[in-house]
Amino acid sequence: MRRPLCQGVALVALTLALAWGAAALAQRDYEAPVDRSLRNWSAARARWDQAGINDYRVLVQWAHVTGRCLQEIDVTAGEISAILRNECEAAPMTVPGYFDHIRQQILGSRCSDTECKCGVVYRVDMTYAPGGDYPRAIQLVPDSYEINPDSDDFWQRQILGLAPLECTAAMVFATSPVTILDITPRRPSP
């Protein structure tokens, strides 16, 4: 007779713990690190699009395992018109193409649902020319390291009432292989 009673008490305790954990989670506004990174990316992309620059020269640096390489490209009417330097294996792109590449890099940083405890939040740094009319340089940089709300560890800590995990750079692999070093607008050719 005692066994069903113990199982019933354990089931009630587990149900209460799950309800408490869900209530605690509902009080917090957790957003996955990759979602915050995409918001940062969207704002930076909108600023580039607002600048309306279609004719420019761009200098790009790619980082890879064996070192760094440079690309210098002329863009006319939004299309590559000349490749002035290409030391890289990666295909040259326009600035919107690099933005798309950066977005794919952010999406690639997404943790699997339960595998990683922490994720990186990226920001897109844009250095503006004097007067702030257009960006001169664009770089994806790790901004913060935050707990992954999809991880098993997150839920265990919620249910047990433990303090959240403190995420650090050492817990997350963050990389930024492409950096736009310089964008120089040109007047359209007549």
47-80 pLDDT, tens per residue? 889 889 999 999 999 887 778 899 999 999 999 9
* Alpha-carbon gap, residue 93 to 153, rounded angstroms: 40
Contact partners, residue 155, CB within 8 Å, separation at least 6: 21
Residue 16 within a domain = no
Work out the average pLDDT over 163-173. 70
Judged against a pLDDT cut of 60, whether residue 97 lies above it is answered with yes
pLDDT at 7: 60
Residue 90 within a domain = yes
* Alpha-carbon gap, residue 78 to 188, rounded angstroms: 11
pLDDT at 27: 40
Domain that holds residue 165: 31-185
Residue 171 within a domain = yes
State how far the alpha carbon of 91 is from the alpha carbons of 72, 77, 107, 111, in Å: 11, 19, 20, 27
* Alpha-carbon gap, residue 159 to 157, rounded angstroms: 6
Judged against a pLDDT cut of 50, whether residue 28 lies above it is answered with no
Which of 25-34, 39-48, 101-110, 117-126 shows the lowest per-residue confidence on average (mean pLDDT)? Answer: 25-34
Instruction: Count how many domains the chain has.
Output: 1
pLDDT at 30: 56
- CA torsion 112→28→163→116, rounded to 10°? 10
Judged against a pLDDT cut of 70, whether residue 23 lies above it is answered with no
* Alpha-carbon gap, residue 11 to 20, rounded angstroms: 14
Residue 18 within a domain = no
Residue 50 within a domain = yes
pLDDT at 87: 93
Residue 162 within a domain = yes
Residue 174 within a domain = yes
Judged against a pLDDT cut of 70, whether residue 103 lies above it is answered with yes
Half-sphere exposure of 57 (CA within 13 A, CB side): 9
Q: How far is CA 49 from the centre of its chain?
A: 19
Which two structure tokens, joined as six digits, stand for 82?
């000349």
Judged against a pLDDT cut of 70, whether residue 26 lies above it is answered with no
Residue 151 within a domain = yes
Which two structure tokens, joined as six digits, stand for 80?
């590559």
